[in-house]
Chain A
Amino acid sequence: MSDFLMLDVHQLSTINHQPYTFNLQPPTLSVFNQSRKNVIMLVFASMFVIIILQLANLQIFSSKYKIMADDQGKFRKVIYPDRGIVYDRKHRPILQNMTIYDLMILPNKLKGIDTVAMCRILGIDSAQFAKKVVDVIVKNGRSRPSVFDALLTDEKMAMLNEAMYKFAPGFYLQERPVRSYPVDAGGNILGYLSEVDSNFLKKNITEGYQIGDYAGKTGLERTYEKVLMGQRGIEYWKRDNKNRLTERLEKGKFDTAAVAGNNMHLALDIELQALGEKLMANKLGAIVAVDPKTGGILAMISSPTFEPKLLTGATRKKHIAELLLNPALPLYNRTVSATYSPGSTFKTLQALVGLHEGVIKTSFRVACSGAFFGCGNGKPKCLDRGVFDLRGAITVSDNTYFATVMQKVINNPKYPSIDSSLSAWDKYMYAFGLGHKLGVDVPFEKSGYIPTPAFYNKIYGARHWNYCTFTSVSIGQGEVNVTPIQVANEMAFIANKGWYRIPHMVDSIEGGDKFNMLSKYQDQHNTTDIPDSVFEAVHDGMQNVVDRGTGIAAKVPGINICGKTGTVENYIHQVKQPNHAFFCGFAPRENPRIAIMCVVENSGRFGGTYAAPIVGLMIEKYLKDSITDKTRLERVEQLSKLNLIPPRIYKAIRTQDSMRHVRDSAYLVAKGYIKTIRDTMGLDDEDEQEALDKLKKDKESAKKEGQKKDSNRVPPKATIEGVLPDDRRRTEAKDTVKN
């Protein structure tokens, strides 16, 4: 029916539609409405124009969206290259890389994983496990991987590795390279890595470090950070809305590959280093051995030292606090950072100055009648009575002789005033490498101190002082301060008869010295024109020291060793401490291959007693490659066991321990010295020193409180103050030390 109807309509309309439509719509209305088409089109078009303008605004004229898009959609992933390996002079690796693992967790994939087994391996209960998971989710979200257990220990790793398939995909292991030290030696010189802090980032803004990166904090790791680090690689990744990295941007078109760090070869002999550390066990002090020809450091021992591997990997957090709070300062590199009065070892230099200035000849003789009376006060005293020429004076370490020599230098009429003569003397000292930083490639080097006219002018006022004000300087006491490395360098200078190369650890860098860090070690410092004959005389005296003088304990059969002992008086807050034992020397005399110094802090006795035998053994080990003689080996063991750590250290440890028991770490944090545990790159030596000073002061005040409370107790005589002599100490030597 409807079909029929429709057909009908269809036929009807096809036949005469023309007039029909015209009838339907009045022409006036139609014409009026026709124009409305344009209005409609105009409205539509203007809307599109608005849209296109806004698009232009967003896409062409404003750049912020591009930046915002890059911020959230791209990720710049830094690829860390392997750090360079460090070899000793015999190409034994002493600092290399090791891989340890972090246990990673993906919280959203935990379903169906045997968490009980995981708890058993990790040694935690399920409540702790749940808490850890919640922490991780709070910190990092569900869908992103987080570190569940960082730096797995070997035992955990062994257990996990076997069972890891059970825990996939909720858990996985992620490699993390750490530094390893194949030989347990040289902790202080090799240094360690730590996380960079904001200070470090500020200083190295162009190097591309980021928060969370590691950089060398001390030792060679710090000095040669650029060399060892290599070149970071950069990968650009796409990142999704859950902050997951999805794929490489443009298939890695913009990426740069990482370049591994360069390996370094040291002048260091790791066996010699290990022997030195063994000999210095149970002592405070330092040994520095230098190859006089090259300036390469053969051994550099600061005692007490630490096992370098304690500061890498899983155990680091625990040990760093321990080491930083230890009153014996194991992290303190005494070889470059500690300053001592040089004591009698300084006399050899006075001989050189006297001879070169022409105020004495080698035949110049001075009588020791018990003291130096040039200043009328009978100071310093001298022990070996008799009349000595230069050689003899060196051999017996005659205080009067060298006090006289320096008096002649200072009161030399060729200089118009004491200012100029002392300046001239200072110049000699600087030329010998004292009073300024040498430029060693081990960080935190101190400059030591050589007193200047300006210094005395400031203290006593201009023209209110004369030689007698600082007589003790002539025998290496008083205002003069040196670092062990400076003493070793001074020996190299004497051994070479007038020149030295700056002592340095690194001999060569594989792939070339790109950062021009080694060229200064090639320069020969010929700073004076002292003739060889002068040196020969000094050598004679020094050889006599070892052959039949105060340093006879250093003697090694078959080797001509030149040496000089020193016994250094020292004070902590005006309280006299046991003497430091010094010995320095070089060998063999004919063709010096090793220049060495040793200091044993507060050992008491004389330099010849403790420091000389240590130096003897070191020289023997280096020149003969090994110590074979049984009695000599016994001597090594004997010396190693010899405990010369001053009682104040033990006292400090005890105080610290009791403090720790009485007041827990919260107290330490509140007082501010736990900040040293923060263990970040910004902690330079000054900071550490500051923190430790604070610690000491605090202990002192704690003790005072204790005393007040318990008046019956006998007050302790010695304070537990600094291990090191104060810089620029103004107290004069009260007693003559002659050695």
Chain B
Amino acid sequence: MYQKNPTIGKGFDWILIWLFVIFVMVGLLCIFSVEYRTTDNVIESFLGFKKNYSKQLFYFIACIILAAFILLSDSKLFTATANISYLIGIVLILATFVIGKEIKGSKSWIPLGFMNLQPVELCKIFTSLALAKYLSMLDMDFRKSQSQIIAAAISFAPAALSIMQGETGLALVYFSFLIPMYREGLPPGYLITGAAMAILLIASLLFSTKVLLIALACIGLIFIYFNRRQIKRSTTMLAWIISIWAFCSVFVGIVVPFAFKHVFKPYQADRIFSMVGVDNPFADKNAVNIVNLEEQKAKQKKSDQQNYNVKQSKIAIGSGGLLGKGFLKGTQTQGDFVPEQHTDFIFTSVGENFGFWGSTLLMLMYMGLIFRIIAVAERQRSTFSRVYAYSVASIIFFHVAVNICVTIGLAPVIGITLPLISYGGSSLLTFTILIFILIRLDADRQMVLR
């Protein structure tokens, strides 16, 4: 029963392990470059546990120990406890409504004394496991819409709770579970329709109605032109195109303005628009809403702050140039111009110190990590492992894409971390567990797990 498994250590994917170590090291250097000043005594600071980089080093060591435990555990532990851990995760999130500590405007933290735990963050692991568990059920037929709804419910329940706490950034991450679902057979029509609707919605927020209607008409005509032969054969195609065009036009021209003018309250509309970073064009400029004046002011302040963050972030990254200013030579990151630069905006230090080549290298490394995980996923024989691996790849991808897009001004400010690099115990812990469970599962890929 307790005999030593001779295969232990052999099946580990060392590429992933080394990538993990390299990323955390890069992260340590980045945090160091942000915080270090020439007057600092490096060794003292590293051991002093006062600076963020020394704390991150401590978290790293803790995570390595935890990782070792995960690697030495049995992979069946994760299949067996998937559902119960998911339940615990949900309970923890619910618990934050009662005992949550407010940090940076969201009450999603549980104080543990030595660190603050964010259950929504941890719940990514549990949700991945639970989704994997559900999709790997023996009698699973994912083509049934019932199964699809249940899978979506498992994925988005923590997100919904998170949004209720006001932590939208982390909630958005749960959209990444659509990718493993797609891989397991979710009809692409859903994703395409969803993506198209999202694009249409965002576009209707960003651009004026007139422009959009013209653009839609143009797109419709282009489609008709390219499909003219098919249309000649049967008019069904034309009917489809026209009906889609009509729907989109009605949506953009009537539904959206109506919703913003009459359905949403002004502050809600403002909030939605501020999420995409534009002023509310439907706002009644003359009406002074006294009740919401204070709130509006606070919102305005927050929005200004976010604009400032993005501007400073772009300045820091842009000033890096092709080759960068050199390690510890960044004037912007060293001058504390970029707020949150050791957490959400850590990429600025890479951009400034190492320039385009450094940033691109980091991006390629992330791409390498994600593609490696996909490769690992595809070699799994069990659905559980594959779904889990895809979940990990998607979560990492979503974090990286959104985080970097925020820092380079391609996305509105959404507070999520850069995996393995951003400072923060909670984030590092989550990704360590995610990756090392995957490595553990992968090591046992010869087994069939549920």
Q: Residues of A at under 8 Å CB distance from B?
A: 2-3, 6-7, 9-10, 13-14, 17, 20-21, 24-25, 29, 32-34, 36-37, 39-41, 44-45, 47-48, 50-52, 54-56, 58-60, 62, 64-66, 68-70, 72-74, 238-242, 246-247, 249-250
Contact = CB atoms under 8 A, between A and B. Distances in A.
A241 B336 contact: yes
The residue in B329, B355, B447 that gathers the most chain A C-beta atoms within 10 A of its C-beta is B447
Contacts of B351: 55, 58-59
A72 B356 contact: no
Contact of B335 (A44, A56, A60, A72): A72
A547 B351 CA distance: 91
Contact of B183 (A24, A33, A58, A60): A33
B331 A37 contact: no
B189 to A, nearest CB: 13
A36 B179 CA distance: 10
Contact of B319 (A41, A48, A68): A68
| Nearest 6 CB-CB pairings of A with B | A65-B318, A73-B331, A69-B319, A240-B335, A58-B318, A59-B356
Interface in B116-159: 138
B80 A6 contact: yes
Given A51-B408, A55-B363, A247 B37 contact: yes
Given A17-B447, A36-B182, 6 more contacts: A25-B383, A37-B374, A51-B405, A54-B410, A59-B317, A69-B331
B331 A238 contact: yes
Given A36-B183, A37-B183, A60-B356, A17 B315 contact: no
23 contacts: A10-B76, A39-B182, A44-B370, A44-B393, A45-B367, A47-B401, A48-B363, A52-B359, A54-B405, A55-B356, A58-B318, A58-B351, A59-B355, A60-B322, A62-B318, A68-B319, A238-B335, A240-B334, A240-B337, A241-B336, A246-B37, A246-B334, A247-B39
B243 interface: no
Contact of B408 (A39, A55, A72, A238): A55
B331 to A, nearest CB: 3
A21 B380 CA distance: 10
B219 interface: no
B35 interface: no
B363 A51 contact: yes
Contact of B447 (A2, A10, A32, A68): A10
B301 to A, nearest CB: 17
A36 B74 CA distance: 30
Contact of A241 (B39, B182, B314, B335): B335
A14 B317 contact: no
A66 B335 contact: no
Given A17-B446, A55-B351, A239 B335 contact: yes
B9 interface: no
Contacts of B101: none
Contacts of B314: 58, 65
Nearest to B184: A33
A64 B315 CA distance: 8
Interface string B174-187: 00000100111100
A52 B185 CA distance: 31
A66 B336 contact: no
A64 B409 CA distance: 15
B371 interface: yes
Given A40-B182, A41-B371, A65-B314, A55 B359 contact: yes
Contact of A21 (B329, B371, B382): B382
B357 to A, nearest CB: 9
Contacts of A51: 363, 401, 404-405, 408, 410
Contacts of B56: none
Interface string B239-278: 0000000000000000000000000000000000000000
B331 A50 contact: no
A66 B185 contact: no
Chain B contact residues: helix, strand, loop or mixed: helix
Interface of B: 1, 37-39, 74, 76, 80, 138, 179, 182-185, 188, 314-322, 329, 331-332, 334-337, 351-352, 355-356, 359-360, 363-364, 366-367, 370-371, 374, 378, 381-383, 390, 393, 397, 401, 404-405, 408-410, 446-449
Nearest to B319: A69
Contacts of A45: 367
Contact of A3 (B1, B185, B316): B1
Contacts of A242: 336
A440 B360 CA distance: 66
A37 B180 CA distance: 10
B447 A14 contact: yes
A43 to B, nearest CB: 8
Contacts of B184: 33
Contacts of B367: 44-45, 48
A20 B37 CA distance: 60
A17 to B, nearest CB: 5
B365 to A, nearest CB: 11
Contacts of A14: 446-447
A249 B328 CA distance: 11
Contacts of B382: 21
Contacts of A39: 182, 188
Contacts of B37: 246-247
A505 B374 CA distance: 87
Contact of B80 (A2, A73, A246): A2
Contacts of B397: 44, 47
The CB with the most chain B CB atoms within 10 A, among A10, A44, A68, is that of A44
B384 to A, nearest CB: 11
Nearest to A50: B410
Contact of A247 (B38, B374, B408): B38
B378 A59 contact: no
Given A72-B335, A73-B335, A241-B335, A40 B322 contact: no
Contacts of A33: 183-185
Contact of A58 (B39, B317, B381): B317
A353 B367 CA distance: 99
Contacts of A50: 410
Contacts of B360: 52, 55
Contacts of B356: 55-56, 59-60
Highest count of chain B CB atoms <10 Å: which of A7, A54, A247: A54
B185 A68 contact: no
A74 B331 contact: yes
Contacts of A9: 76
Contact of B315 (A2, A40, A65): A65
Contacts of B321: 59-60, 66
Contacts of A29: 185
Nearest to A38: B374
A25 B374 CA distance: 19
A679 B212 CA distance: 61
Given A59-B317, A72-B335, A247-B37, A24 B138 contact: yes
A70 B404 contact: no
A176 to B, nearest CB: 27
A492 to B, nearest CB: 61
B410 A41 contact: no
B344 to A, nearest CB: 16
A32 B184 CA distance: 10
Contacts of B322: 59-60
A278 B314 CA distance: 69
Contacts of B401: 47-48, 51
Contacts of B352: 69
Nearest to B320: A59
Given A24-B138, A24-B383, A68-B315, A249 B331 contact: yes
A249 B356 CA distance: 22
Contacts of B329: 250
Contacts of B335: 72-73, 238-241, 246
A74 B359 CA distance: 23
A54 B318 CA distance: 10
Contacts of B76: 6, 9-10
